[in-house]
Structure 1
Amino acid sequence: MKKSILFSLSLSLLIFSCGEKSGSQEAESLGHTSGDASTAITTAVSESKTTSSIIDSYLAVKDALVADDQATAAAKSQDLVAALKSYDIASAKGEDLEELERLQVEATDFAEKLSSGDIAAQRESFQALSVVMKDLLKIAGTDRTLYQQYCPMYKNNTGGIWLSASEDIKNPLFGSSMLTCGKVEETIAMN
């Protein structure tokens, strides 16, 4: 009896922590919060093709983590490191080039840590990289609309973010264990 009450409490907390669950969803999507961006704030940034390779490489790492593929995430992180290192800050239209340079160095450091053999460490580095990438792209610009997504359950319920090219939630911080946990918090769109 105590076990079933404890299980019920845990299940209720899980559902409450990450949104409502409809009765027709599969058990693996427990805790899903809608990816609908209609309630998200929108931030307009300059249009820039110079960040395309950085964004493409970042999204490739994200997709590998969504698929729980540690080896591909490590391999794709090398492309991301190369794209970040080759980014020409002088080509940026942003006004704060000194801050952009600081963010480029910080993003490169986190991207280099993604080559770790441990997927949990990769996910932790990826979440930190995501925070820096969001700030970098707000200064440098983007070539597409991106969605900042948030999972409140990551890192013992302190939460974590990532960027996606789609409103659909595919959580790289948990992968298949909580694939659809999250919501769109911000839309980063071109002017």
Structure 2
Amino acid sequence: MKRIKRSIGSVALAATLMLAMSCKDASKSEASVTTDNITTENAVDSQEAVTKTDKQDAKAEDILKDYFNLKDALVGDDNDKAKALGITLTNSLKAFEVSNYTDNEQTELNDLIEDATEHAEHIGESDIKHQREHFKTLSKDIADMVAITGTAMTLYEQFCPMYDRGSAWLSTKEEIRNPYYGSAMLKCGSVQRTIN
């Protein structure tokens, strides 16, 4: 009986290895043109999926770009610029499409986008003190969004222990430029973690 189990196990292992090797060979040959209808159809489907993903990634990257521009306006104590960028970010968030994600991710992303949009709208119509209050929650929403969507950029999650019992934000640079205090405490904070 043990011999039969070992034989079945060996056959299963051999089949798995052959399948893995054939998948590896198939991925190498996908780039080449074939006359097999099934392979051609799969290649077209794969290309469409890549194109959709690229478009989706671009929308997620647009949100990040607008977020970083807003952060920089707060660092520079520029209330009017932050208002305009809050509106820009609101539009980017509303344009984000979640249909390329799993059902659970879609639910989570919809909640994050809704909350982030509300905070971006408030930033678009508030004084700088109130903008900074909303930026704290907006930063958490954007960080949670990146955890789902990913990003091609290297990001730094930075933390200021002094603002509102501790507040985090994202940056594309390791150097601390505090959006919560601006010129008053420009370098207050530290890098908590690197993303990517």
Q: Tell whether 2:192 aligns with 1:188.
A: no
Is this contact kept in 2: 1:110–1:129, CA < 8 A?
Answer: yes
SS at match of 2:111: helix
* Other-structure match for 1:39: none
Rounded Cα–Cα distance in structure 1 between residues aligned with 2:87 and 2:70: 10
Q: Distance in 1 between matches of 2:122 and 2:168?
A: 17
Match of 1:49 among 43, 53, 58: 58
Which residue number corresponds to residue 185 of structure 2? Answer: 178
Shift of 1:72: 0.1
**Structure 2 residue 75 is matched with structure 1 residue 66:** yes
Distance 2:188 2:169 in 1: 12
Picking from 118, 134, 139, the partner of 1:125 is 134
CA distance in structure 1 between the partners assigned to 2:85 and 2:76 by the alignment: 13
- Backbone CA RMSD of aligned residues: 1.9
Matched residue of 2:58: which SS? coil
Gaps of 5+ in 2: 1-53
Aligned to 1:76: 85
Deviation string, structure 1 residues 22-80 (Cα, Å, up to 9, x no partner): xxxxxxxxxxxxxxxxxxxxxxxxx9333111001000100000000000000011110
Asked if the contact 1:169/1:181 (under 8 Å) is kept, the reply is: yes
Q: Decide whether the 8 Å contact of 1:77 with 1:111 is kept in 2.
A: yes
1:92 Cα shift? 4.0
What letter corresponds to residue 106 of structure 2 in structure 1?
L
User: Tell me, which stretches of 5 or more residues in structure 1 are unaligned?
Assistant: 1-46
Q: Which residue of 2 aligns with 1:44?
A: none
Among 80, 94, 98, the residue aligned to 1:89: 98
Q: TM-score, normalised by structure 2?
A: 0.68
TM-score, normalised via structure 1 length: 0.70
Q: Take 2:70 and 2:185, find their aligned partners in 1: how far apart are those partners?
A: 18
The residue number in structure 1 matching 2:143 is 134
- In structure 1, distance between residues paired with 2:103 and 2:155: 18
Once residues 93 and 55 of structure 1 are traced to their aligned partners in structure 2, the CA distance between those partners, rounded to angstroms, is: 21
Structure 2 match to 1:20: none
Task: Quote the Cα distance in structure 1 between the aligned partners of 2:85 and 2:141.
Answer: 18
How far is the alpha carbon of 1:91 from its aligned partner? 3.1
CA contact (8 A) 1:93 1:140 kept: no
Contact 2:59-2:92 at 8 Å conserved across structures:
no
Residue correspondences, number: 142
Corresponding residue number in structure 2 for 1:163: 170
Alpha carbons of structure 1 residues 136 and 178: separation in structure 2 relative to 1, 3 Å: same
Question: Distance between the aligned counterparts of 2:138 and 2:71, measured in 1?
Answer: 11
In terms of fraction of residues, the more helix-rich structure is 2
Tell me by how many angstroms 1:95 deviates: 5.6
- C-alpha change, 1:134 and 1:94, in structure 2 (3 Å) is farther
Higher relative contact order (CA 8 A, sep 6+): 1
Q: Is the 8 A contact 1:147 1:186 kept in 2?
A: yes
Who wins on radius of gyration, i.e. which is larger?
A: 2
Query: Compared with structure 1, are the counterparts of its residues 69 and 175 closer, same or farther at alpha carbon in structure 2 (3 Å cutoff)?
Result: same
